[in-house]
Amino acid sequence: MALELNDAPKAWLDEDALATWSEIPVAIIGDELNRTQIMRAAIKPLAPGSGFAGQALTARCMVGDNSALHYALAGAWPGAVIVADAGGFEDTAVWGGLMHTGAKQRGVAAVVIDGAVRDVAELRDSGLPVYVRAAVPAGPHKGFGGAVNATIQCGGVPVSPGDLVIGDDDGVIVIRPDQIDGLMARCRARMDKEAAIIEGLKAGKTTVELTGLPPADEIGK
């Protein structure tokens, strides 16, 4: 199967906007998106504290093959988040130290892979965030096709080229352009509400009181 190469997405968020989004917890965004758009729990950071925000550069890999990722990396722009659907396959790594060095040189903001990586110590110490399903020493094949900058799935979430992708210690969320309007204001309001709840807890109130739960005998009716 030939490798499908598509044009890179257009930028619709500047560096300042991305920096602001990187400060918003993924859990807060997920709550404001009705607990949708969140990647599966298996997609986790290799290193704690390695949050990011950026627009998606997508790759779809054939199982056990990383040729699509090589071409995605060749077309990466500074601040891109490489997001790869490697089929959730955990027994062959499609990303490792050599590619990671290349990604860092190109200014990539993060790498998110629904599959496996290797050279974990090197990746963890690089300072370039990696979110992945698994790690394994076995390396990939090349030459079985795939796609670059096409709509994919990663961690059970559809990802289109240019989507806003945000990660923190909890995991990864994807925001489509049509979801962005008013979302930041809602997230800020929720964060203020949670800050007020924390102050209430410090004052001796309970979460039952502060979250407005109904009486116990009414729950479940």
Both tokens assigned to 180: 């962005």
Both tokens assigned to 185: 């204001």
Give the model's confidence band at 220: pLDDT under 50 very low, under 70 low, under 90 confident, else very high.
confident
Both tokens assigned to 131: 């979110």
- Among all chains, which residue has been given the structure tokens 């950071």? 45
SS3 for the chain, per residue? CCEEECCCCCCCCCHHHHHHHCCCCHHHHHHHCCCCCECCCCCEECCCCCCEEEEEEEEEECCCECHHHHHHHHCCCCCCEEEEECCCCCCCEEECHHHHHHHHHCCCCEEEEEEEECCHHHHHCCCCCEEEEEECCCCCECCCCEEECCCEEECCEEECCCCEEEEECCEEEEECHHHCCCHHHHHHHHHHHHHHHHHHHHCCCCHHHHHCCCCHHHCCC
Residue 1, pLDDT score? 66
C-alpha to C-alpha distance for 221 and 218, rounded to whole angstroms: 6
Residue 144, pLDDT score? 81
- The model carries a pTM of 0.95
- 69-95 tens-digit pLDDT: 999 999 999 999 999 999 999 999 999
- Measuring CA to CA, how many Å separate 188 from each of 24, 29, 31, 100, 185? 8, 10, 12, 34, 5
Burial 193-212 (b: 16+ CB within 10 A, else e): eeeeeeeeeeeeeeeeebee
Mention every residue, 6+ apart, whose C-beta is less than 8 A from residue 31: 190
- 8-20 tens-digit pLDDT: 999 999 999 999 9
* Whether the Cβ atoms of residue 63 and residue 86 lie closer than 8 Å to each other: yes
- 107-149 tens-digit pLDDT: 999 999 999 999 999 999 999 999 999 999 999 988 888 999 9
- 185-211 tens-digit pLDDT: 999 999 999 999 999 999 999 999 999
The larger pLDDT score, comparing residue 188 to residue 215, is at: 188
Residue 82, pLDDT score? 98
Q: Which residues on neighbouring strands pair with residue 156, listed in sequence order?
A: none
Please choose, from the candidates 189, 180, 152, the residue with its C-alpha nearest in 3D space to the C-alpha of residue 21.
Answer: 180
